[in-house]
């Protein structure tokens, strides 16, 4: 029955076709399919396959196709394939890759294999690579390619067009030519669409845009993504932080990957998972990280248990409290995680600052107060009807109000506090928040009961 609901989006039942072919042993068909699909789709198929099938599929992909697939696939999975290759295979596979993808692959190799691969390249390619290799994957330098086309300010449009025609191919995502001086320092940009409509005798200097800045190589990748979004860029030049010399350019395809990763980060972190988590990772890879997360949560669960323990005697006398106490804790947890989720996303978007945080805290408190009054009343009525005891209604309603207001306050302030301590709010926030709402929920409910009953 479950399988009925699993129908993948119509566009891609390929994974099922592929599997049927694999299972029936018609490898010829599988091989033909894998080598005719676009690399991005093959990468999707590999990512959607359990590890043992991945290995089989990988063997069936032609060597000259493997490089393209490697640049599209999840780094962890690609790394596994790479570790099994010798230098010779690596050299064959990495031939013709874009520099940034090549660097991503090379950075995963052990030193000696890396050197062997570097030795195999011609000196120009090697020099380019050695320029990029030092930059971290998460910076503009790590995102850039070296396939820039540069022009000088004194060139005329006619010369520029002739110069372009001399290229066998203009690299994809080339919407602008980069204007540099003799020292290769960045001066401005010349959009090709302006070249096309300009008088052939005009010079680059007359047409180029100078109100755009080049991206320093050390800029964080998510900041690069913001720039691309803000200015609707297709490509942007990258320069050395100190010298302003042109190093390369970043293209939108790689920026989209950054955007997706950043967006996945909050979702996955809030469940204690990595944003690049491989859906089909093996047990021994998936288990340890989750064990740690469960361990941390166990600790917080015991803290909550210890809070209940304080009121052992009260519970002994009124068992209804044990029955109702999870209600108070759970409502606080749910309300708190709503506020936390809003904060985590707003912080990721850079929306939160000292000038609006007080307004937001007040709004959350007001929303919590309204909902607390509404649902506390409902809970009170149900509790009184259930246990035929008016006091328990009063107690649970008061505890609910306390816990929902606490949840709102913690949901706003906790992520700020965590961030100021350089802890990722998306990762740590939900654990700490649930501990707070559990403890406050149990203590307020059982504490008030102790006060009213004993």
Q: Which residues contact 261 (CB under 8 A, 6 or more apart)?
A: 275, 276
Torsion over CA of 104, 108, 114 and 120, rounded to 10 degrees?
A: -40
Contact 251, 147 (CB under 8 A): no
User: Closest CB to a second copy among 1 and 182?
Assistant: 1
For the chain, give the number of residues.
454
Of residues 109 through 168, those in contact with a second copy by CB under 8 A are 161, 164-165, 167-168
Contact 222, 246 (CB under 8 A): no
User: Closest CB to a second copy among 120 and 371?
Assistant: 371
**From 62-70, 108-116, 138-146, 361-369, span contacting a second copy (CB under 8 A):** 361-369
* Residue 206 found at the interface with a second copy (CB under 8 A): no
Of residues 400 through 439, those in contact with a second copy by CB under 8 A are 413, 416-421, 434, 438
Residue of the chain from 152, 155, 205, 345 that contacts a second copy (CB under 8 A) = 345
Residue with tokens 């790479």: 82
Residue of the chain from 119, 209, 210, 356 that contacts a second copy (CB under 8 A) = 356
**From 13-21, 56-64, 86-94, 134-142, span contacting a second copy (CB under 8 A):** 13-21
Q: How far is the CB of 271 from a second copy (least distance, A)?
A: 4
Residue of the chain from 6, 59, 110, 112 that contacts a second copy (CB under 8 A) = 6
User: Closest CB to a second copy among 242 and 355?
Assistant: 355
C-alpha 106: how far from chain center: 22
Residue 182's nearest CA partner among 208, 153, 156 is: 153
Residue of the chain from 86, 122, 232, 388 that contacts a second copy (CB under 8 A) = 232
* Residue 63 found at the interface with a second copy (CB under 8 A): no
The rounded distance, in Å, linking the Cα atoms of 242 and 336 is 46
The rounded distance, in Å, linking the Cα atoms of 116 and 97 is 17
The rounded distance, in Å, linking the Cα atoms of 425 and 341 is 10
* Residue 2 found at the interface with a second copy (CB under 8 A): yes
Contact 411, 337 (CB under 8 A): yes
The rounded distance, in Å, linking the Cα atoms of 258 and 216 is 17
DSSP 366-404: HHHHHHHHHHHHHHHHHHHHHHT-HHHHHHHHHHHHHHH
Contact 176, 235 (CB under 8 A): yes
With b meaning 16 or more CB within 10 Å and e meaning fewer, what string describes 332-358?
bbebbbbbbbbbbeebbeeebeeeeee
* Residue 7 found at the interface with a second copy (CB under 8 A): yes
* Residue 94 found at the interface with a second copy (CB under 8 A): no
Taking residue 167's Cβ as centre, other Cβ atoms within 10 Å add up to: 10
**From 27-35, 106-114, 123-131, 280-288, span contacting a second copy (CB under 8 A):** 280-288
Site size for a second copy (CB under 8 A): 138
* Residue 12 found at the interface with a second copy (CB under 8 A): yes
Q: How far is the CB of 128 from a second copy (least distance, A)?
A: 21
* Residue 287 found at the interface with a second copy (CB under 8 A): yes
* Residue 211 found at the interface with a second copy (CB under 8 A): no
**From 27-35, 76-84, 85-93, 298-306, span contacting a second copy (CB under 8 A):** 298-306
* Residue 36 found at the interface with a second copy (CB under 8 A): no
* Residue 223 found at the interface with a second copy (CB under 8 A): yes
User: Closest CB to a second copy among 67 and 109?
Assistant: 67
CA distances 434 to 198, 269, 303, 379, Å, are 62, 15, 11, 21
Of residues 167 through 196, those in contact with a second copy by CB under 8 A are 167-175, 192-193, 196
Q: Which residues contact 213 (CB under 8 A, 6 or more apart)?
A: none
Of residues 240 through 259, those in contact with a second copy by CB under 8 A are 252-253, 256, 259
* Residue 5 found at the interface with a second copy (CB under 8 A): yes
Q: How far is the CB of 345 from a second copy (least distance, A)?
A: 7
Of residues 299 through 328, those in contact with a second copy by CB under 8 A are 300-302, 304-305, 308-309, 312, 315-316, 319, 322-327
Of residues 367 through 406, those in contact with a second copy by CB under 8 A are 367, 370-371, 374-375, 378-379, 382
Please give the angle made by the CA atoms of 255, 259 and 263, to the nearest 5 degrees: 170
Residue of the chain from 28, 260, 385, 454 that contacts a second copy (CB under 8 A) = 260
The rounded distance, in Å, linking the Cα atoms of 302 and 297 is 9
**From 106-114, 136-144, 182-190, 296-304, span contacting a second copy (CB under 8 A):** 296-304
Of residues 95 through 114, those in contact with a second copy by CB under 8 A are none
């Amino acid at each position: 029955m479950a399988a009925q609901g699993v129908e993948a989006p119509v566009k891609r039942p390929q994974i099922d076709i592929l599997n049927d072919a694999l299972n029936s042993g018609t490898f010829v068909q599988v091989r033909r399919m894998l080598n005719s699909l676009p690399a991005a789709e093959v990468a999707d198929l590999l990512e959607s396959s359990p590890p043992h099938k991945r290995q089989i599929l990988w063997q069936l992909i032609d060597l000259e196709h493997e490089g393209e697939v490697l640049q599209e696939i999840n780094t962890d999975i690609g790394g596994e394939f790479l570790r099994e290759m010798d230098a010779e295979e690596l050299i064959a596979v990495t031939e013709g890759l874009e520099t940034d993808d090549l660097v991503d692959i090379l950075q995963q190799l052990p030193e000696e294999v890396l050197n062997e691969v570097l030795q195999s390249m011609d000196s120009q390619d090697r020099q380019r690579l050695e320029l990029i290799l030092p930059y971290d994957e998460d910076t503009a330098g790590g995102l850039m390619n070296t396939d820039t086309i540069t022009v000088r300010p004194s060139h005329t449009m006619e010369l520029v067009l002739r110069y372009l025609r001399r290229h066998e191919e203009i690299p994809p995502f080339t919407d602008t030519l980069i204007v540099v001086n003799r020292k290769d320092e960045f001066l401005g940009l010349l959009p090709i669409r302006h070249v096309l409509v300009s008088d052939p005798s005009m010079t680059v200097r007359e047409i180029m845009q100078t109100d755009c800045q080049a991206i320093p190589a050390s800029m964080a990748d998510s900041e690069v993504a913001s720039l691309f979004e803000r200015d609707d860029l297709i490509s942007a030049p990258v320069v050395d932080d100190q010298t302003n010399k042109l190093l390369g350019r970043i293209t939108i395809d790689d920026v989209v990957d950054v955007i997706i990763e950043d967006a996945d980060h909050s979702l996955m972190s809030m469940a204690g998972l990595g944003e690049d988590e491989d859906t089909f990772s093996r047990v021994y890879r998936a288990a340890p990280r989750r064990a740690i997360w469960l361990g941390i949560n166990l600790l917080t669960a015991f803290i909550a248990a210890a809070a209940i323990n304080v009121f052992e005697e009260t519970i002994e006398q009124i068992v209804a409290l044990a029955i109702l106490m999870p209600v108070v804790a759970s409502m606080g947890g749910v309300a708190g995680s709503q506020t936390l989720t809003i904060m985590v996303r707003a912080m990721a978007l850079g929306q939160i600052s000292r000038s609006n945080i007080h307004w937001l805290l007040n709004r959350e408190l007001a929303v919590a107060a309204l909902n607390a009054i509404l649902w506390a009343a409902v809970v009170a009525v149900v509790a009184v009807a259930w246990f035929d005891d008016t006091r328990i209604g009063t107690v649970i309603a008061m505890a609910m109000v306390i816990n929902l207001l606490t949840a709102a306050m913690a949901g706003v302030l906790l992520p700020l506090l965590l961030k100021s301590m350089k802890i990722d709010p998306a990762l740590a926030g939900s654990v700490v928040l649930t501990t707070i709402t559990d403890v406050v929920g149990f203590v307020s409910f059982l504490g008030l009961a102790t006060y009213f009953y004993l």
